[in-house]
């Protein structure tokens, strides 16, 4: 026997979101408080209609957005709804007579796309070229694994390593030659968490390259990799350095001043390892690729927790949960770059015939609402640029860069590329990792791809998408990004 539907069920079944959005646009009046930009983008996404068709529904919408609205908002709307050269050209042609301001704004956006963004026609061929060109170095960037309580995906190191073997099976041309890990391998810097990371490196190395290859895995520490001791003192990454160095499973900025490896030929030079007031740095030279990767430490702390906080945590707080929350606040570090560290960098990086990348944990520029609180962030980027570094890879902010981030390119600064968390909570968007491909010819370029984790919690080939094209030489930082869709944005 069929049960009659209630009026509420009937209303839900008959609800048509496209018709509802169209009605809002058709009936919109200037006095109504409606997010027109949001309605336009949502309607276009659901219906497949062009912006020209949307504006034809109600001329007052055109007047409000493109005659009376701020120019910056107009440009951002166009960037959100237009995704290719063909769409830009087609809309400009159709709007010339009926909506001339739209056509004018398109010309402004289109000129910027041509200068600073990757044309959509370039994107499909990027992976095809990789399949044909074997003269390149593939680098995977993993970040913020957070083994321990903050790992919400695969806390089993063996299973996590296996997920990357599966990814290689899907895209064999993107099998990494090297893996860089941009910090926060642990959650609370416990020996168990570091032990899980060591086991992950061993399993990953065996799965990808058939045995232990410490020179292929490069790791910088993050703020969660600093151990907070019971007496209120932090260990300045001593346990991180000790356990990973003893394990011999990867390269970090800590260790001997010179280390050399074969198959592949890699030379590691460490600087500042005797200092008690500033962390060291390492320059990893990949001999056969003429590529240098500079490993930087941005999480070091002053070494002592303030007296007031130490009294609270050590002397007065007995509730374990509250104690953990306070300790977690101690770990909310924004990065620490000192003038001493800049000086060390300046005198350590001499002239080189190699292309150079830098790797660190904390972000050095602002991404949307994610501010950079490092007062010497720009000074570090300028110093790196003067030493031949054009790109800096980092983690910490748990998100990829998307269309909502409109940052100004400064030619004299190294360009920052963020990587989302691999297996913890994201601030916005999906977890995943980055794939960077460095060309080994005379014109050194970096092609970067975002590889997100699917809803089924593995890395499928259709979630691999281009993100950056960067020149690794020249007198300015030349980086191009695709015209990210506002709807596909990971921000």
Looking at residue 92, its pLDDT comes to 81
- Residue 465 binned pLDDT confidence (cut-offs 50, 70, 90): confident
Mean pLDDT of 280-296: 96
Mean pLDDT of 93-111: 79
Rounded Cα gap, residues 1 and 398, in angstroms: 52
Rounded Cα gap, residues 233 and 388, in angstroms: 37
| CATH 3.40.190.10 describes domain 121-480 | no
- Residue 405 binned pLDDT confidence (cut-offs 50, 70, 90): low
- Which range of 117-131, 219-233, 365-379 scores highest in mean pLDDT? It is 219-233
Mean pLDDT of 312-327: 68
- Given a cut of 50, whether residue 220 has pLDDT beyond it is yes
Looking at residue 123, its pLDDT comes to 44
Rounded Cα gap, residues 460 and 458, in angstroms: 6
- Which range of 81-95, 113-127, 259-273, 389-403 scores highest in mean pLDDT? It is 259-273
Looking at residue 279, its pLDDT comes to 92
- Residue 288 binned pLDDT confidence (cut-offs 50, 70, 90): very high
Looking at residue 124, its pLDDT comes to 47
Name residue, tokens 């593939």. 138
Looking at residue 403, its pLDDT comes to 53
- Given a cut of 90, whether residue 204 has pLDDT beyond it is yes
- Which range of 48-52, 85-89, 144-148, 452-456 scores highest in mean pLDDT? It is 144-148
Looking at residue 374, its pLDDT comes to 78
- Residue 471 binned pLDDT confidence (cut-offs 50, 70, 90): confident
- Residue 76 binned pLDDT confidence (cut-offs 50, 70, 90): confident
- Given a cut of 70, whether residue 446 has pLDDT beyond it is yes
Looking at residue 161, its pLDDT comes to 95
Where helices occur in 29-123 by DSSP H, the ranges are 36-47, 51-57, 59-62, 71-81, 85-98, 100-116
Q: What is the mean pLDDT of the chain?
A: 82
Looking at residue 293, its pLDDT comes to 98
Looking at residue 11, its pLDDT comes to 42
Looking at residue 206, its pLDDT comes to 96
- Given a cut of 80, whether residue 473 has pLDDT beyond it is yes
Rounded Cα gap, residues 294 and 282, in angstroms: 6
Mean pLDDT of 331-343: 81
Looking at residue 283, its pLDDT comes to 98
Q: Which of 27-36, 102-111, 171-180, 193-202 has the lowest mean pLDDT?
A: 102-111
Rounded Cα gap, residues 81 and 58, in angstroms: 18
Looking at residue 141, its pLDDT comes to 98
Mean pLDDT of 99-111: 77
pLDDT, greater one: 193 or 42? 193
Looking at residue 4, its pLDDT comes to 52
Mean pLDDT of 92-103: 85
- Given a cut of 60, whether residue 243 has pLDDT beyond it is yes
- Residue 203 binned pLDDT confidence (cut-offs 50, 70, 90): very high
- Residue 462 binned pLDDT confidence (cut-offs 50, 70, 90): confident
- Residue 229 binned pLDDT confidence (cut-offs 50, 70, 90): confident
- Given a cut of 80, whether residue 49 has pLDDT beyond it is yes
- Given a cut of 70, whether residue 199 has pLDDT beyond it is yes
Cα R_g (the chain), whole angstroms: 25
- Which pLDDT tens digit goes with each residue over 376-388? 888 999 999 999 9
The structural domains of the chain, with segments of one domain joined by +, span 7-116, 121-480
Q: How far is CA 473 from CA 284, 355, 357, 393, 444, in A?
A: 18, 7, 11, 16, 7
- Given a cut of 50, whether residue 254 has pLDDT beyond it is yes
Q: What is the largest CA-CA distance in the chain?
A: 84
User: Residue 482 in contact with residue 123, Cβ under 8 Å?
Assistant: yes
Looking at residue 18, its pLDDT comes to 84
- Given a cut of 90, whether residue 16 has pLDDT beyond it is no
| The token pair that represents 192 in the structure block | 């168990």
φ, ψ dihedrals at 118, nearest 5°: -85, 130
Looking at residue 12, its pLDDT comes to 41
Provide, rounded to the nearest whole percent, the portion of the chain with pLDDT above 70: 79
Looking at residue 2, its pLDDT comes to 46
- Which residue(s) pair with 394 in the sheet? 418
Looking at residue 112, its pLDDT comes to 47
CA-based nearest residue to 336, from 441, 188, 237: 237
């Amino acid at each position: 026997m069929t049960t009659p539907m209630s009026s509420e069920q009937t209303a839900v079944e008959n609800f048509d979101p496209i018709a509802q959005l169209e009605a809002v646009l058709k009936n919109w009046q200037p006095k109504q408080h409606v997010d027109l930009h949001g309605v336009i983008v949502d309607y276009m996404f659901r219906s497949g209609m062009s912006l020209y068709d949307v504006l034809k529904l109600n001329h007052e919408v055109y007047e409000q957005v493109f005659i009376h609205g701020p120019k910056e908002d107009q440009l951002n709307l166009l960037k959100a709804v237009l995704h290719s050269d063909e769409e830009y050209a087609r809309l400009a042609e159709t709007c010339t007579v009926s909506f001339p301001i739209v056509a004018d704004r398109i010309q402004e956006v289109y000129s910027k796309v041509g200068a600073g963004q990757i044309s959509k026609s370039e994107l499909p061929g990027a992976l095809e070229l990789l399949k044909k060109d074997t003269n390149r170095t593939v680098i995977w960037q993993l970040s913020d694994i957070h083994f321990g309580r903050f790992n919400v995906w695969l806390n089993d190191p063996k299973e996590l390593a296996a997920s990357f073997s599966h990814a290689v099976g899907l895209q064999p041309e993107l099998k990494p030659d090297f893996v860089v890990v941009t910090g926060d391998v642990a959650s609370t810097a416990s020996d168990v968490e570091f032990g899980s990371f060591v086991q992950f490196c061993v399993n990953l190395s065996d799965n990808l390259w058939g045995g232990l290859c410490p020179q292929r895995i490069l790791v910088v520490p993050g703020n969660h990799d600093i151990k907070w001791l019971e007496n209120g003192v932090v260990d300045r990454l001593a346990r991180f350095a000790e356990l990973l160095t003893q394990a011999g499973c990867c390269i970090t900025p800590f260790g001997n001043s010179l280390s050399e490896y074969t198959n592949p030929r890699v030379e590691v030079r460490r600087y500042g390892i005797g200092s008690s007031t500033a962390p060291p740095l390492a320059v990893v030279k990949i001999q056969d690729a003429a590529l240098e990767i500079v490993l930087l430490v941005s999480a070091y702390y002053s070494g002592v927790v303030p007296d007031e906080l130490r009294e609270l945590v050590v002397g007065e707080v007995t509730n374990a949960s509250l104690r953990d929350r306070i300790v977690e606040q101690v770990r909310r570090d924004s990065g620490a770059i000192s003038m001493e560290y800049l000086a060390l960098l300046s005198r350590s990086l001499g002239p080189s015939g190699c292309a150079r990348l830098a790797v660190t944990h904390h972000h050095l520029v602002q991404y949307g609402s994610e501010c950079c609180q490092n007062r010497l962030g720009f000074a570090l980027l300028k110093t790196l640029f003067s030493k031949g570094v054009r790109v800096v890879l980092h983690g910490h902010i748990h998100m990829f860069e998307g269309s909502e981030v409109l940052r100004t390119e400064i030619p004299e600064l190294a360009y920052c590329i963020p990587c989302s968390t691999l297996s913890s909570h994201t601030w916005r968007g999906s977890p995943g990792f980055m794939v960077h491909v460095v060309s080994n010819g005379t014109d050194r370029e970096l092609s970067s791809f975002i590889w997100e984790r699917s809803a089924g919690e593995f890395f499928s080939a259709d979630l691999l998408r281009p993100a950056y094209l960067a020149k690794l030489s020249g007198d300015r930082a030349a980086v191009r990004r695709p015209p990210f869709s506002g709807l596909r944005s990971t921000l």
